[in-house]
Structure 1
Amino acid sequence: MNWQLFGEVVVTLFVIMDPPGTVPVFLALTGNRRPAERKRAAWEAVAVAAGVIAVFALFGQTLLDYMHISLPALQGAGGLLLLLVALELLTGKADHPETAAGTNVAMVPLGTPLLAGPGAIVATMVFVQDSDGGWDHLALVLGVVVVLLCLWASMRFSVVLLRVLKESGILLVTRIAGLLLSAIAVQLVADSVRAFVEGAG
């Protein structure tokens, strides 16, 4: 197996998907739910992220070409979606359980675009294009699995913080998560605009 490629995949996706950075957002979105629901949300978010990455790894470029969608456009859309979620966290709209009734935060925004965002999708597509042969593909798959397991562990065991932070602490974490998430969203949109400008030039 190509251990060098495995290491590159793990390091690259770990930095992009940022398992420790998902903890405050996960707590903010699931803090008012029962422990069993939070555990299920962690699994579902990772499963959705895995599915999105797998689809784009296999068919991403073909799908984008068919729909005439550029990678900067995908990046900008992900940024705008994250910005909407960030505003809900900052304004306190996400603090009330009734506002989230019937919604599955594990799918959106946790699974995508937070975990399986434009950065992770593009990086995986590049790795697939540069890989050569079955052993490279195996290294790529194992690298993605390792990062996804790290993401699950960070969310699964973040519930321990709930016992320490209590309700007021979760409120503070929610506001901080909203601020961080809004910064990520703005950066995604800015990178998208920059890519469009450079492409036009």
Structure 2
Amino acid sequence: MSELIPIFIFFFAVIDPIGSVPVFIATTTGFDAKAKRHIAYKAIIAATGILLFFIVAGEYLLSAMGIPLSAFEIAGGIVLFLFALTMIFGEGKAKSELRMAKSVTETAIFPLAVPSIASPGAMLAAVMLTENARYTLEEQATTAGIMLSVLLITLILLMTAGPIHKIIGNGGANIVSRVMGLILASVATASILEGIKTYFAL
């Protein structure tokens, strides 16, 4: 049980369900309640498909290109760390993606499913946390289940986006995003160190 909590926190940080609420509200402005529910389901289904693809095929794609997973783990850790810094010191996920939503056609796929829910950090996490050489098939299935639970939480939050946004506001979403960014930065650093250790142990 204690091993599952860090994985849950990791996925919660990179998917950032709370930070997706303002993005959802922006992309669904003008739609009725039924259409908003349809958009929420469509966005979650799309994001789930993308992340499951990276769990199943991500490592095989790396192998086909001759990239060792340790190198990807280091590179992924660096990208996650930079991503975490933008969450901590930047505008925050909510504000930056709200601006993106205003500048493109408002759809469930972009920017809601990608990059808000299935973020680059979430894609990297899906690969790194299901490494075939390190985790058994059962452990990988458990990790996938944890990821799906975070996506389910995201769906629930999107379905109740109106009341939640009234409670926390854009400022509250930005605060949560920054806290998640700090957690993600720590995880990213651990990933870099583990990748370096694995590489030199080869």
CA contact (8 A) 1:89 1:178 kept: yes
Distance change in 2, residues 1:170/1:67 (3 Å) = same
1:163 counterpart residue number = 162
Question: Structure 1, unaligned stretches of length 5 or more?
Answer: 1-6
Question: Following the alignment from structure 2 to structure 1, what is the Cα–Cα distance between the partners of residues 168 and 114?
Answer: 25
Alignment of 1:53-92 (within 5 A): 53-61=55-63, 63=65, 65=67, 69-84=71-86, 87-89=90-92, 92=95
Question: Following the alignment from structure 2 to structure 1, what is the Cα–Cα distance between the partners of residues 144 and 72?
Answer: 27
After TM superposition, give the deviation of residue 109 of structure 1 in Å: 4.6
CA contact (8 A) 1:24 1:173 kept: no
TM-score (structure 2 length as normaliser): 0.66
Q: Secondary structure at the match of 1:31?
A: helix
Task: Kindly provide the CA deviation profile for residues 98-117 of structure 1, in whole angstroms up to 9, marking residues without a partner as x.
Answer: 14546434222521334333
More helix by share: 1
2:12 counterpart residue number = 18
Residue 39 (1) aligns with residue 41 (2) = yes
Alignment of 1:1-201 (within 5 A): 13-18=7-12, 22-34=16-28, 35=36, 36-61=38-63, 63=65, 65=67, 69-84=71-86, 87-89=90-92, 92-96=95-99, 97-99=101-103, 101=105, 103-118=110-125, 120-125=126-131, 128-130=132-134, 137=137, 139-140=138-139, 142-167=141-166, 169-188=168-187, 190-191=189-190, 194=193
CA contact (8 A) 2:20 2:116 kept: no
CA contact (8 A) 1:44 1:106 kept: yes
Q: Secondary structure at the match of 1:124?
A: coil
CA contact (8 A) 2:17 2:154 kept: yes
1:4 counterpart residue number = none
Question: Following the alignment from structure 1 to structure 2, what is the Cα–Cα distance between the partners of residues 41 and 93?
Answer: 19
Percent identity among equivalent residues? 9
2:33 counterpart residue number = none
Question: Following the alignment from structure 1 to structure 2, what is the Cα–Cα distance between the partners of residues 22 and 117?
Answer: 14
Distance change in 2, residues 1:14/1:185 (3 Å) = closer
CA contact (8 A) 1:42 1:152 kept: yes
Question: Following the alignment from structure 2 to structure 1, what is the Cα–Cα distance between the partners of residues 195 and 139?
Answer: 29
CA contact (8 A) 2:8 2:146 kept: yes
Question: Following the alignment from structure 2 to structure 1, what is the Cα–Cα distance between the partners of residues 111 and 57?
Answer: 21
After TM superposition, give the deviation of residue 8 of structure 1 in Å: 9.6
Q: Secondary structure at the match of 1:94?
A: helix
Question: Following the alignment from structure 1 to structure 2, what is the Cα–Cα distance between the partners of residues 8 and 56?
Answer: 26
* Equivalent pairs, count: 185
Question: Following the alignment from structure 2 to structure 1, what is the Cα–Cα distance between the partners of residues 53 and 192?
Answer: 27
Task: Kindly provide the CA deviation profile for residues 49-70 of structure 1, in whole angstroms up to 9, marking residues without a partner as x.
Answer: 1111212243445546279944
Q: Greater CA deviation, 50-59 or 109-118?
A: 109-118
Q: Secondary structure at the match of 1:153?
A: helix
